[in-house]
Amino acid sequence: MALTFTDQNFQETVLDSEKVAIIDFWAEWCGPCRALTPIIEQLSTEYDGKAVIGKVNVDNNPEISMKYGIRNIPTILFIKNGEVVDKAVGVVPKAMLEQTLQKHM
């Protein structure tokens, strides 16, 4: 199951992690975001223990969203060693997310 990242736990669960992280910035009212949710859930199961995969609700966590300049959702950031190493905006195929993830593992 995908993790829930918040303003409070982001530093510890994402930035301080030694694993690559996939962060899905989303909102409940966003249709494309809901379409992406099953893909994020599948990746979190398939890469359990190998990567940190989860979601940030932009409405509930404005600090993280502002820090990374999230203007459109869904936006997916790939973070490794505390730095953004890749980004995808919009609904993207699972294969593309997997390819990007494996590139940074």
Catalytic site residues? 30, 33
| Four-residue CA torsion sign, 12, 98, 86, 61 | negative
Alpha carbon separation from 32 to 6, 21, 65, 75, 78 (Å, rounded) = 21, 21, 18, 10, 19
My answer on whether omega of the bond before 74 falls inside 30° of 0, hence cis, is: yes
